Amino acid sequence: MGLHVIDEAKRCLKCKTPRCVKGCPVGTAIPEMIGMLLEGRIGDAGKMLFDNNPLSLVCSLVCPHEAQCEGHCVLAARGTPVHISSIENYISNYSLDMLPLAAGVGDLGTIGIVGSGPAGITLAFIMALKGYKVTIFDMNDKIGGILHYGIPEFRLPKEIIARLERKLIELGVVIRPNVLIGPVLTVDDLFRDGYDALFIGTGVWNPRKLGIKGETLGHVHFGIDYLRNPGAYRLGDRVVVIGAGNVAMDVARTILRHGVREVTIMARSGRERLSARKHEIDYAEIDGVKFEYYKAPVEINAGGVVYNETVLTPDGIALVEGGRGLLEASAVIIAVSQGPKSNIVNYTKGIQIDHRGLIMADEEGRTTRPGVFASGDVVTGARTVVEAVKYTKQVAERMDAYVQGARRGAETEAEG
């Protein structure tokens, strides 16, 4: 691994205008990172990566690199780009536990973070390093959100999340697991207890249903629920996964790794129109996942999925008359989309949501209630980890300005 990374680092052309940096949503200084590594300054490289992106190690594994840094590498046009993700992974993995992090000095205020997914973890690091007292509230017993409960172990080892948690604790961040903010403890309760600002980063955990007959049957499950604890399910030997996105690919590949003999993904369109990344589809295929294209589910019964064949037309996907059939299955998993839970907004006044149930917030994370900020999937819908980091960095700066402005205003009023 080490030799491979060095070889890849030496392939970098050190472009004067590095397109790879422009392709990275958080602007990672890739040429500088590679230069530090080759100079033997791996610790400095790791610190630089972390300061720019506290989830650098995670992103090195789960980002769509082929569409971002590596896809923009000038060598990609000639054939094979520099494997930037491997270099970043090597540096971040080596340096994470040794990072010289220290909480900011002073008492800048108290921040409450609801949800410990990518956005919540990012904000916790940034605000603790600034000097804020930070408490994370999460409904689960482990932090990480989608990182822990939605991305399979073979793509993102759980130990990485545990290492990030240890760094948060070193910075003095308090973590309250198994706490659902909304029906019991509310946003109003948090403000009552002295929090200067709150952040909502609860993600999207409500699975979308198909709205067809049979979804309540005992052998039917939802993909986002399955990924939380795959070992709890007894699926038999033939599973059909309905869906065409990255979650469907993760579900199918996970099922195979849990001993199921045959897994088939059913999609309404052809391979070229699937919403999943091409790399994810490729990996699913080499893992042994089968694909049934141009089939729309119309009913689920004890024998499997009743489908109607479809065809691509100039107006989109249309059903083929008389094209009914049955795809046999011992279990069916629906993985078509997710939306946000409503635990917070149902018990909080002043936080507006859009027609999809997502929290309405501006580019700096300000919601319609003063002092409450939000970012990540609960605002944008399901996106990438690095996008959550990008926007959360902006939110952190606005939250800092808000708290300090409020404190100065309170001091002026007291003096008056």
Per-residue pLDDT at 25 exceeds 70: yes
Q: 151 and 195: one domain?
A: yes
Q: How far apart are CA 306 and CA 159, in angstroms?
A: 41
Predicted local confidence at residue 78, as pLDDT: 83
Predicted local confidence at residue 47, as pLDDT: 98
Per-residue pLDDT at 414 exceeds 80: no
Q: How far apart are CA 258 and CA 287, in angstroms?
A: 12
Count of C-beta atoms within a 10 Å radius of residue 7: 10
Instruction: Identify the domain containing residue 222 by its residue range.
Output: 207-338
Predicted local confidence at residue 79, as pLDDT: 85
Q: What is the DSSP string of 227-274?
A: HH-GGG----SEEEEE--SHHHHHHHHHHHHTT-SEEEEE-SS-GGG-
Give mean pLDDT, residues 127-151: 97
Provide the token pair at 5. Answer: 């990374």
Q: 174 and 223: one domain?
A: no
Q: Could you tell me what percent of the chain has a pLDDT over 90?
A: 92
Q: Please, which residues bridge with residue 310 across strands?
A: 319
CATH number of residue 189's parent domain: 3.50.50.60
Per-residue pLDDT at 385 exceeds 90: yes
Per-residue pLDDT at 413 exceeds 80: no
Q: 403 and 320: one domain?
A: no
Predicted local confidence at residue 2, as pLDDT: 56
Give mean pLDDT, residues 340-364: 93
Kindly state whether residue 64 falls inside one of the protein's structural domains: yes
Kindly state whether residue 406 falls inside one of the protein's structural domains: yes
What would the pLDDT profile of 324-339 be if each residue is shown by its tens digit? 999 999 999 999 999 9
Q: pLDDT band for 236, please (50, 70, 90 cuts).
A: very high
Kindly state whether residue 105 falls inside one of the protein's structural domains: no
Domain boundary among the residues 48, 78, 98 is at 98
Q: 298 and 369: one domain?
A: no
Q: 127 and 177: one domain?
A: yes
Side-by-side strand order, sheet with 238-242? 220-222, 331-334, 238-242, 262-266, 290-292
Rounded to the nearest integer, the mean pLDDT of the chain is 95
Burial of 216 (0-12, 13-18, 19+ CB in 10 A): exposed
Per-residue pLDDT at 366 exceeds 70: yes
Q: 225 and 237: one domain?
A: yes
Q: 88 and 182: one domain?
A: no
All residues at 6 or more sequence positions from 80 whose CB lies less than 8 Å from its CB, including other chains: none
Predicted local confidence at residue 22, as pLDDT: 96
Domain boundary among the residues 66, 98, 130 is at 98
Side-by-side strand order, sheet with 316-328? 295-301, 304-313, 316-328
Per-residue pLDDT at 410 exceeds 80: no
Predicted local confidence at residue 3, as pLDDT: 61
Per-residue pLDDT at 249 exceeds 70: yes
Per-residue pLDDT at 415 exceeds 80: no
Q: pLDDT band for 416, please (50, 70, 90 cuts).
A: low
Which helix or strand (DSSP H or E) is residue 200 part of?
A: strand 197-200
Indicate yes or no: pTM above 0.85: yes
Q: 267 and 359: one domain?
A: no
Residue 139 three-state SS: coil
Kindly state whether residue 79 falls inside one of the protein's structural domains: yes
How many separate domains does the chain show?
3
Predicted local confidence at residue 121, as pLDDT: 98
Give mean pLDDT, residues 366-390: 95
What would the pLDDT profile of 48-104 be if each residue is shown by its tens digit? 999 999 999 999 999 999 999 999 999 998 889 999 999 999 999 999 999 999 998
CATH number of residue 29's parent domain: 1.10.1060.10
Q: 92 and 137: one domain?
A: no
Q: How far apart are CA 345 and CA 245, in angstroms?
A: 28
Per-residue pLDDT at 255 exceeds 70: yes
Q: Output the CA–CA distances (angstroms, integers) from residue 45 to 91, 137, 159, 224, 389, in the order listed.
A: 7, 32, 22, 35, 19
Q: Which single residue is written with the structure tokens 């149902």?
A: 346
Domain boundary among the residues 75, 98, 121 is at 98
Q: 114 and 236: one domain?
A: no
Q: 139 and 178: one domain?
A: yes
Predicted local confidence at residue 105, as pLDDT: 84
- Helices 84-95/42-52 angle, 10° precision: 100
Kindly state whether residue 104 falls inside one of the protein's structural domains: no
Q: 87 and 200: one domain?
A: no
